Amino acid sequence: MFYAVLGLSIFFFVGITFFVVYFTIKYRHRPGHKAQPSPAHNDAMEITWTVIPTIICVFLFLGGWKGYLEFTSEKSNPMVIDVTAQKWHWNFTYPDGTQDGNLHVPVGQPIRMRMTSVDVLHSFYVPAFRVKQDVVPRRYTYVQFTPTRPGVYRLYCAEYCGDDHSQMKVKVFVHEAGGYERFLSEKASLSQSMSPEETGLYVYNKKGCVACHSVDGSPKVGPSWKGIWNEQVKLADGTTITVDDQYIKDSVLEPQKQARPGYPPSMPSFAGQLSEREIAGVIAYIKSLK
């Protein structure tokens, strides 16, 4: 379809440009040259070039509509993956409950993404699959596709969502037969075998903490994690609090409640997105950042 339209467009473009250039050269002003009388209008001709584009447009519309229906109509027996988008990362929840920041799908399997956003509009865009769908807060939107070739592809956010909009891109792994199952089991064993600090580091990188919090003391959107453990910090309401297990857990689950002054209230709640084990990991990780 794209190429058909491209061909058609090139045809019209070349045609019009040709006539414009040709007439311009042929009838350009030069000594002795005068405008020649020619009809001021020609209804037959004008109607022709009204009707022909109309017909072409009808065909283009029908073609586009058909293509659109093909990829929006429900596929039989799809694998449903839940997608949560937030500033500025993606979280994919697979049917067995496994979560990951990258998208893993088996080849040949129809996939249906059930998507929602926790903050602003985002847009799920995988150029290689030719799919795009906005992700809207407090509402489910869906997109479906069937990956046909194994490989690694890019997934972008295509709806402007703030500072790190351009960093909200992850990878799509289309696995060969068996690869997807391997991913799930590796993921499971990995999370079992990891020490709390490693879990924390993993969460930090994969669940989007890295977008707003540094671990080297430099300020980003949110406060840095370095050296805050057991420190007294000032809160927005003027009180001070010690950074301990409880404070970190509260901040993860209800970030705005004990927010620190000077930082925008842009952190969403991670309630339901992180397991107890993962929160414990984050706490251990912050502890390790002296």
Partner 1 sequence: MASTTATAEPNYFEVSKGFKSWALTLDHKRIGLMYLFGILVSLLVGGAFALLVRIELFSPGETITTAQTYNRFFTLHGAVMIFLVIIPGIPAALGNIMLPIQLGAPDVAFPKLNLMSFYLWCTGAALLVLSIIMGSIDTGWTFYTPYSLDPSKSAAIIPAVFGVFVLGFSSIFTGLNFLVTIHKFRPAGMGWFQMPLNLWALYATALMQVLATPVLGITVLLLFVEHTLHIGIFDPTLGGDPVLFQHFFWFYSHPAVYIMIVPAMGVVSELITTFSRKPVFGYRFIAYSSVSLALLAFLVWGHHMFVSGQSALANMVFSALTFTVAIPSAIKVFNWTATLYKGDIRLQTPMLYALSFLILFTIGGLTGLFLAILATDVHLHDTYFVVAHFHYVMMGSGLVAFLGALHYWWPKFTGRMYPERLGQTCAVGVFIGFNLTFLPQFIMGSRGMPRRYWDYDPEFTLFHRLSTIGALILGISLFVTVVYLFASLKLGRKAPQNPWGGSTMEWQAPTPPTLYNFPEPPVLHELYDYSDLVEDGDNGWVRKSEQAKAKAKES
- Judged by CB under 8 A, the chain residues 95 through 154 that form the site for partner 1 are 119-121, 123, 125, 127-128, 130-134, 136-139, 141, 154
By CB under 8 A, the residues from 55 to 94 that bind partner 1 are 57-58, 60-61, 63-72
Of the candidates 59, 67, 60, 58, the one whose C-alpha atom is nearest the C-alpha of residue 131 is 67
235 makes contact with partner 1 (CB under 8 A):
no
Distance CA 17, CA 30 (A): 22
With respect to partner 1, which residue has the nearer C-beta, 49 or 276?
49
Of 27, 152, 182, 227, the one binding partner 1 by CB under 8 A:
27
236 makes contact with partner 1 (CB under 8 A):
no
With respect to partner 1, which residue has the nearer C-beta, 70 or 276?
70
Distance CA 207, CA 105 (A): 19
# residues contacting partner 1 (CB under 8 A): 80
Minimal distance, residue 205 CB to partner 1, in Å: 18
With respect to partner 1, which residue has the nearer C-beta, 29 or 149?
29
Q: How far is CA 238 from CA 253, 255, 264, 284, in A?
A: 21, 16, 16, 27
Minimal distance, residue 70 CB to partner 1, in Å: 8
Burial class (CB within 10 angstroms; exposed 0-12, middle 13-18, buried 19+) of 55: exposed
Distance CA 230, CA 240 (A): 12
